[in-house]
Amino acid sequence: MSDQNEQRTGTPDTPMAETPAERGEQIGAALEAEAAARAAEAATPEGEARDRKAHRGIAIAAVAFAVLLIGAGIAYSVLAPAAEDDSIEVTGTDAVHSTEGPAENNSDTGDGNGGNAATTPAPDFTMTTSEGKTLHLSDFKGRPVLLNFWASWCGPCKSEMPAIQAAWEQSGQDVDFVIVNMTDMGGESEEAAKAFLAEGGYTFPTYFDAGNSAATAFGVTSIPQTYLIDAEGNIIGACMGAMDESVIAQGIAMLKGEATTAQ
């Protein structure tokens, strides 16, 4: 029996336990012996050195993880508001694009949701003048309109203001310029907008969207944006981004029926 135990266990000095209770006692004794051996080893200078090294490794890993968490928190605090902010600046295109589709391919039913600009009316909204008077976009129906959305904190918006001023001085008698400040967007205020206009000497008609009526109607999430609206109140073109003199001239020509753009 002893020979069989030695062959099965590979430990001739420890007899094979015959019952589950005895096997449990043997396992417990082996674990206690291993723990005692490790404690004794840790008490030696070499063991203490290894222990300190292990502790340093754990501390370094903990600090690195904490730095990672802090960095993630900072990144979220910076990027999350930017993702949710409705005042994203864009540089946009350098040409006015017609919104009118080919007549033969037009599937519009006249409800304003089709591809032809002639049956896509501009959504109406309310705005206020510098004197506090309330107006509607529909009040301008009967004359072509250049509708622009801007804010004083927006770099691309400010870059196109001289060209808008020059175009208004030249064509304001033929086209209504409805330059709408996105008041309350991105921290904009009517006071800041008026200060910017006064400093730049801009005298074109300016209106204020303090109640976000225009932003909601046109779904404005980036500025500047410009829309060309004909005398019947239909959108015939648009420019997403800052315009220069040539782009505005192209838009004015479209509004006056003097030119068209590629589809």
**Tens-digit pLDDT profile for residues 54-83:** 656 655 655 555 444 444 443 333 333 333
**Better-scored residue on pLDDT, 258 or 140:** 140
Q: How much is the pLDDT for 20?
A: 58
Which residue is associated with the tokens 């060209």?
163
CB burial of residue 230 (10 Å; 0-12, 13-18, 19+): buried
d(CA 95, CA 101): 17
User: What is the model's pLDDT at position 119?
Assistant: 53
Domain residue spans of the chain = 2-83, 88-255
Of the two residues 184 and 10, the one the predictor is more confident about is 184
**pLDDT confidence bin for 115, thresholds 50/70/90:** very low
pLDDT band at residue 262 under the 50/70/90 scheme: very low
Cis peptide before 224 (omega within 30 of 0): yes
Q: What is the pLDDT of residues 126-156, one digit of tens each?
A: 999 999 999 999 999 999 999 999 999 999 9
Q: CA-CA distance, 185 to 220, in Å (whole number)?
A: 10
- Angle (nearest 5°) at CA 157 between 156 and 161: 115
| Model pLDDT, residue 143 | 96
pLDDT of residue 227: 97
Tell me, what DSSP letter sits at residue 121?
A: B
Q: Each residue of 80-104: pLDDT tens digit?
A: 333 334 333 333 444 454 444 333 3
Residue 21 has pLDDT above 50, yes or no: yes
pTM exceeds cut of 0.75: no
Domain 88-255 listed as CATH 3.40.30.10: yes
Question: What is the pLDDT, as a whole number, of residue 59?
Answer: 56
Do the bridges between strand 134-136 and strand 222-223 make them parallel or antiparallel, or are there none, so unpaired?
Answer: unpaired
Tell me the three state secondary structure of residue 145: strand
